[in-house]
Structure 1
Amino acid sequence: MKIFLDTANLESIKKYNDMGLVDGITTNPTLLSREKENPAQIMREIVRIVKGPVSLEVVGTTYDSMMEEAHRLKKYGKNVVVKIPMLPDGMRAVKKLKEEGIETNVTLVFSANQAVIAAKAGASYVSPFIGRLDDAGQDGMTLVREIVQIFSNYKFTTNVLVASVRHPMHVIEAGKIGAHVVTLPPDILGKMMAHPLTDKGLASFLADWEKVKKENPNLSF
């Protein structure tokens, strides 16, 4: 399972990319609006830093506006994946972009029917928003399970990209189901690395080593 970072924060991207944990990036207008830098500069820098797929989202809602934006966004780099909303005109754009060799990520997917439509249109990625479904009283992971099963049944090549991840258990469940990718905020990735027993064990090891040093003042290795 690949891990994408869902952020436009350059500091976080550099931090986790240096650890070798970032397989790709997803962004959206909301994430870009939270940063102080110019959005164009941010997108250009993200594409430079990260070698994997970088999803940059259109803001238009008509076929012509989405196509124009898609071609403009693609100029940021070869690894750009154009995020397209789940709309009728969006599916038309996805089909055309596939014909042009441009990868797409269909966003704001909330049903298996929408996922199938996106795959049929030629999407490279489909992004079910599980956290928002959970907030609405539905089970987001049930949707992921349905999409993975359907795609497997019919050998769709579209990747299932689990989005709107709210906690580390979402990542584990997505992996158990067989989702291809999860995209998560930096704080969730940080939580995945942490465990109180790790902290406790490390503190114990260091305390014991201090005792060894005191008993052996000339110790070197």
Structure 2
Amino acid sequence: MEFFVDTADLEAIAELNALGLVDGVTTNPSLVKKVGRDFKELIAEICALVDGPVSAEVISVDAEGMLQQGRTLAGIAPNVVVKLPLTLAGLQVCKTLSGEGIATNVTLCFSANQALLAAKAGATYISPFIGRLDDIHIDGVDLISNIRTIYDNYQFETKILAASIRSPLHVKDCALIGADVITAPPPVISALANHVLTDNGLKTFLADAKSAGITI
């Protein structure tokens, strides 16, 4: 499973990247708004910081506008992935950009049928938002399972990028089901290393090492 960090915070990306825990980055207009930076300059800096794919989202809703913006974003760096909304216009642009060899991430997916359409349009990634489904009392992880079954049935190459990850439990469940990628905020990725028994065990080992006079 690949880990993408869902943020536009360069410092947080650099910190996780230095630990070897970042395979890619996803951004969206809301995340960019939080850091208050020029959008294209920020994407260029993120792309220079990490080797993996960096999703950058179009802001047009019509096909012509999305196509123009998608090509502009793809020109920023070779590892840009153009993020498109799961609308009919977005799928049309996905098909065109994919045919031009431009990587795409179809976002705001909330149903298996939507994911099927994205795969048929040649999307590189499909982003089901599991946390937002949980918010309205629909099992978001179950959607990942359904998409996995459909994609395996027909050998679609589109990667399942589980998004709107809220907790380490989401990460575990997505890994068990077979999501190709998860994208999560930095605190969620960092929290994957945490366990109270690890903390307690380390405390005991260090205390025993001190009392035994162990040096290295």
TM range (shorter): over 0.9
Query: Following the alignment from structure 1 to structure 2, what is the Cα–Cα distance between the partners of residues 93 and 122?
Result: 10
Question: In the TM superposition, what are the counterparts of 1:172-211 in structure 2 within 5 Å?
Answer: 172-211=172-211
Root-mean-square deviation (CA), in Å?
1.1
Question: In the TM superposition, what are the counterparts of 1:34-113 in structure 2 within 5 Å?
Answer: 34-113=34-113
Q: Which amino acid aligns with 1:42?
A: L
Query: Following the alignment from structure 1 to structure 2, what is the Cα–Cα distance between the partners of residues 220 and 154?
Result: 58
Greater Rg, structure 1 or structure 2?
1
Q: Which amino acid aligns with 2:83?
A: K
Q: Which amino acid aligns with 1:127?
A: S
Q: Give the fraction of aligned pairs with identical amino acids, expressed as a percent.
A: 47
Query: Following the alignment from structure 2 to structure 1, what is the Cα–Cα distance between the partners of residues 18 and 137?
Result: 38
In the alignment, what sits opposite 2:7? 7
Q: Name the TM-score, length of structure 2 as normaliser.
A: 0.97
In the alignment, what sits opposite 1:216? none
Runs of 4+ in structure 1 over 3 Å off: none
Query: Following the alignment from structure 1 to structure 2, what is the Cα–Cα distance between the partners of residues 137 and 14?
Result: 35
Q: Which amino acid aligns with 1:55?
A: S
> Which stretches in structure 2 are left out of the alignment for 5+ residues?
none
Residue pair 2:28, 2:56 contacting (<8 A) in 1 also: yes
Q: Which amino acid aligns with 2:151?
A: F
Alignment length (residue pairs) = 216
Q: CA 1:203/1:61 → structure 2, altered by over 3 Å: closer, same or farther? A: same
Q: Post-superposition shift, 1:101?
A: 0.5
Residue pair 2:85, 2:107 contacting (<8 A) in 1 also: yes
Query: Following the alignment from structure 2 to structure 1, what is the Cα–Cα distance between the partners of residues 136 and 6?
Result: 21
Q: Which amino acid aligns with 2:196?
A: P
Query: Following the alignment from structure 1 to structure 2, what is the Cα–Cα distance between the partners of residues 46 and 114?
Result: 29
In the alignment, what sits opposite 2:128? 128
Residue pair 2:40, 2:73 contacting (<8 A) in 1 also: no
Aligned residue for 1:193, secondary structure, equals coil
Q: Post-superposition shift, 1:183?
A: 0.5
Query: Following the alignment from structure 2 to structure 1, what is the Cα–Cα distance between the partners of residues 203 and 139?
Result: 39
Q: Post-superposition shift, 1:141?
A: 1.0
